[in-house]
Structure 1
């Protein structure tokens, strides 16, 4: 199962996320669930870092991806991260046994 953990601040703005695990809906390299989630996460990271020019703390290994905003979230980072979440939620609806999304507030 893929686990998506969102971290939000006291104002409910997303400040980071961690995605780990595998959907196991197809052989490695052919799993559309893993590919979709990975594409959404990587697009959000690139949008925040390259397009908006924001500083982030980013990590990636064989088990997953983590991202944390260095500065305060704003409407632009929020738009990117909430749009990512919309896509993740749609995938989770289609594959509820393969994707779990949780929110943590700080």
Structure 2
């Protein structure tokens, strides 16, 4: 199962941690895992390459299959649009594949960033 924790601060989405493999299919052919991975990478790309945000914090732990993003210090209002779009898309995947993807909303301090 992939668990996605969305960090909230004052009700606003400001961070995300995605951990684990969905287990929908074998590694290398798991379309659910690929979809989640592509969206999380798109979130990173949107902040880093499109908005050129210097305050984006990110980390990848390949051994734990974890990617963490914290955009709480980012300044561009367009970041909210990118975040809402990607997180909304991730929620839709979790709705369709509830045995493979779970999304939790937590206070940003609980993410350990």
In structure 2, what is the Cα distance between the partners aligned to 1:18 and 1:76?
A: 20
In structure 2, what is the Cα distance between the partners aligned to 1:50 and 1:26?
A: 31
Could you state the TM-score of these two structures normalised by the residue count of structure 1? 0.91
Could you state the TM-score of these two structures normalised by the residue count of structure 2? 0.86
The residue aligned with 1:6 is 6
Q: Does 1:57 align with 2:57?
A: yes
User: Could you tell me whether the CA contact under 8 Å between 1:15 and 1:73 is conserved in 2?
Assistant: no
In structure 2, what is the Cα distance between the partners aligned to 1:73 and 1:79?
A: 13
Structure 1: 4+ residue segments shifted above 2 A: 72-75
The residue aligned with 1:28 is 27
In structure 1, what is the Cα distance between the partners aligned to 2:88 and 2:73?
A: 23
CA apart distance, 1:90: 1.1
Q: Could you list the runs of 5+ residues in structure 1 that have no partner in the other structure?
A: none
User: Could you tell me whether the CA contact under 8 Å between 2:24 and 2:30 is conserved in 1?
Assistant: yes
